[in-house]
């Protein structure tokens, strides 16, 4: 009887969510926020900003910008970095990174099952996945130095000298596709896996095993370059940073300072696999926002059900609900994995238009790879706008969880009772920060795309004309992103 009542309530909730008038909810919150002005004004304002920025960049850009890259200052031999090497800071950071991974495993297997009371959930999902991405955008690819799985592989290579070299040559045709597949699996687990502390520990154990086996098969250099998706994700984000951390020919770390975002101009996508990975970074975040909207839920639970699914699962909504719920998971999973290829088709269409506008001097494939990194600022701001509030609401609790990582009432560092209450930001502030970040990210992408065009076409007029399709693409992405953020949301967990 209770199960029937629960099913009835859930079906009614879906119908209500689909049919109610559209108030606007800020992501990660459950109360309504009404926009101070109609959405279409935001959309037109954002589009106007992009067009204005395009005109300004096109007018003031000069042929002097066609030089191979902006000047970067090497500060490796400065007093601060020499002191850091003397104090063995890289080795300390590697040790802390490995300790963090091991602590996630221990707390997951032996700690409380409560997601909010276990150290590993907050540390991994908030500070590792989100915090490290934002840190990489500020100070460069620090993850390449402290990758805990590489630390483990290096440790294994000490007694087994041939381990890090691998047994087989990495197949060149695979490119970055293993990283794409692992990234897709990771996003699916994040969105639909319903992970708890124990499940997360199992997943991290499995991923550690995959990495160690992969290194043994193909070698540390190729595995961590092409297959370990965290490394690729953070390496791409780090091209936006004003700091470049790079090994020299002797394997020593070099540190260069450069203008923000200009690293993108030095790093075109190497192949289609890297292009798809870049688009997946963008599409997965957009899909995560879209799947929570009432419009998306209505499409499946009402429109598709009435259009034909009821002939397969039955016309009685109560009886059909279990089958519909399973089909909804398949539906969601399909569109998640299809999303980067949908974005790829759209992107290639606009690149083809770019080629037509600029002349047929460059193949579409070459242009697609060359302009792909200019989408990274959009991917970064999409990630920030959708998830940054999690740092305020749950991330701050890492201070108290550090004193009680297993959730057993400990107070190891005297901070167990600090920051117990989540910091809930004002919804109006959240919305305007989201709008500002999305517009700013697209403006930066417009600028970077124009700089790449100057280097590609070697003619100011052709460069400006070639960017008209890319401007249209940026306007499309901006409007779509703002529309997703402005939609009413279905309560998390109701799907």
Q: How confident is the model at residue 7 (pLDDT cuts 50, 70, 90)?
A: very low
Query: Is the model's pLDDT at 461 over the cut of 80?
Result: yes
Provide the token pair at 157. Answer: 């290579």
Query: Is the model's pLDDT at 141 over the cut of 90?
Result: yes
Asked if 226 and 125 count as a contact pair (C-beta separation under 8 A), the reply is no
pLDDT in tens, 233-264: 999 999 999 998 877 655 567 888 899 999 99
451-456, long-range: CB < 8 A, 24+ apart = 451/61, 451/65, 451/265, 452/265, 452/370, 452/371, 452/374, 453/358, 453/371, 454/61, 454/63, 454/65, 454/66, 455/65, 455/66, 455/68, 455/265, 456/362, 456/367, 456/370
Number of residues in the chain = 495
State the Cα–Cα distance between residues 155 and 137, nearest whole angstrom. 29
Q: Is 420 or 62 the better-scoring residue by pLDDT?
A: 420
Q: What is the pLDDT of residue 392?
A: 86
Q: State the average pLDDT over residues 17-43.
A: 49
Q: What is the pLDDT of residue 18?
A: 36
Query: Is the model's pLDDT at 292 over the cut of 80?
Result: yes
Nearest CA to 228 among 121, 147, 124? 147
Q: What is the pLDDT of residue 61?
A: 64
Q: How confident is the model at residue 66 (pLDDT cuts 50, 70, 90)?
A: very low
Query: Is the model's pLDDT at 33 over the cut of 70?
Result: no
Q: State the average pLDDT over residues 103-107.
A: 96
> Percentage of the chain surpassing pLDDT 70?
86
State the Cα–Cα distance between residues 367 and 345, nearest whole angstrom. 14
pLDDT in tens, 185-218: 999 999 999 899 999 999 999 999 999 999 999 9
The H-assigned helical ranges of 140-271 are 143-146, 148-157, 177-192, 197-218, 220-226, 229-238
Q: How confident is the model at residue 85 (pLDDT cuts 50, 70, 90)?
A: low
Q: State the average pLDDT over residues 271-280.
A: 97
Q: State the average pLDDT over residues 285-295.
A: 91
State the Cα–Cα distance between residues 185 and 229, nearest whole angstrom. 10
Mean of the per-residue pLDDT values of the chain: 85
The DSSP-derived string for 340-402 is HHHHHHHHHHHHHHHHHHH-TTS-HHHHHHHHGGGGHHHHHHHHHHHHHHHHHHTGGGHHHHH
Q: State the average pLDDT over residues 126-133.
A: 95
Q: Is 3 or 270 the better-scoring residue by pLDDT?
A: 270
Asked if 159 and 166 count as a contact pair (C-beta separation under 8 A), the reply is no
Q: What is the pLDDT of residue 359?
A: 78
Q: What is the pLDDT of residue 428?
A: 81
Asked if 111 and 406 count as a contact pair (C-beta separation under 8 A), the reply is yes
Q: Is 233 or 39 the better-scoring residue by pLDDT?
A: 233
Q: Which of 94-103, 177-186, 314-323 has the lowest mean pLDDT?
A: 314-323
Q: Which of 67-76, 115-124, 145-154, 453-462 has the lowest mean pLDDT?
A: 67-76
Query: Is the model's pLDDT at 337 over the cut of 90?
Result: yes
Q: How confident is the model at residue 34 (pLDDT cuts 50, 70, 90)?
A: low
Nearest CA to 242 among 143, 144, 141? 141
């Amino acid at each position: 009887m209770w199960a029937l009542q629960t099913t009835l309530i859930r079906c009614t909730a879906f119908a209500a969510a689909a049919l109610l008038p559209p108030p606007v909810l800020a992501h990660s919150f459950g109360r309504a926020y009404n926009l101070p002005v109609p959405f279409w004004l935001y959309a037109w304002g954002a589009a106007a900003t992009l067009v204005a920025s395009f005109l300004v960049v096109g007018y003031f850009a000069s042929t002097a910008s066609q030089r191979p890259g902006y000047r970067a200052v090497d500060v490796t031999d400065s007093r601060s970095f020499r002191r850091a090497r003397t104090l063995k800071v890289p080795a300390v950071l590697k040790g802390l990174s490995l300790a963090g991974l091991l602590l996630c495993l221990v707390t997951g297997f032996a700690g409380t099952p409560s997601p909010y009371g276990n150290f590993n959930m907050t540390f991994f999902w908030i500070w590792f996945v989100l915090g490290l991405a934002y840190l990489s955008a500020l100070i460069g690819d620090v993850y390449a130095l402290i990758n805990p799985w590489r630390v483990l592989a290096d440790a294994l290579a000490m007694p087994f000298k041939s381990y890090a070299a691998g047994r087989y040559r990495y197949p060149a045709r695979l490119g970055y596709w293993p990283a794409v597949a692992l990234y897709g699996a990771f996003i699916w687990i994040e969105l639909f896996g319903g992970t708890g502390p124990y499940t997360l520990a199992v997943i991290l154990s499995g991923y550690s095993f995959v990495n160690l086996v992969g290194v043994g098969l193909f070698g540390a250099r190729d595995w961590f370059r092409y297959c370990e998706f965290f490394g690729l994700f953070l390496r791409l984000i780090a091209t936006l940073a004003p700091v470049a951390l790079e090994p020299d020919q002797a394997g020593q770390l070099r540190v260069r300072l450069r203008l923000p975002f200009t690293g993108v101009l030095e790093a075109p996508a190497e192949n289609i696999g890297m292009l798809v990975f870049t688009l997946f970074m963008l599409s997965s975040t957009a899909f995560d926002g879209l799947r929570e909207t009432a419009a998306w839920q209505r499409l499946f639970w009402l429109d598709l059900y009435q259009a034909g699914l009821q002939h397969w699962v039955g016309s009685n909504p109560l009886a059909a609900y279990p089958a519909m719920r399973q089909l909804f998971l398949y539906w969601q999973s399909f569109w998640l994995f299809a999303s980067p290829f949908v974005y790829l088709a759209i992107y290639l269409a606009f690149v083809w238009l770019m080629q037509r506008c600029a002349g047929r001097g460059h193949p579409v494939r070459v242009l697609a790879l060359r302009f792909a990194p200019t989408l990274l600022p959009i991917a970064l701001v999409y990630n920030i706008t959708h998830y940054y509030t999690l740092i305020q609401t749950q991330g701050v609790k890492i201070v108290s969880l550090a004193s009680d990582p297993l959730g057993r009432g400990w107070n190891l560092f005297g901070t167990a009772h600090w920051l117990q209450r989540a910091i809930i930001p004002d919804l109006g502030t959240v919305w305007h920060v989201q709008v500002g970040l999305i517009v700013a990210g697209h403006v930066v992408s417009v600028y970077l795309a124009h700089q790449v065009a100057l280097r590609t076409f070697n003619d100011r007029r052709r460069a400006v004309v070639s960017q008209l399709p890319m401007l249209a693409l940026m306007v499309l992405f901006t409007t779509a992103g703002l529309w997703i953020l402005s939609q009413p949301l279905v309560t998390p967990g109701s799907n």
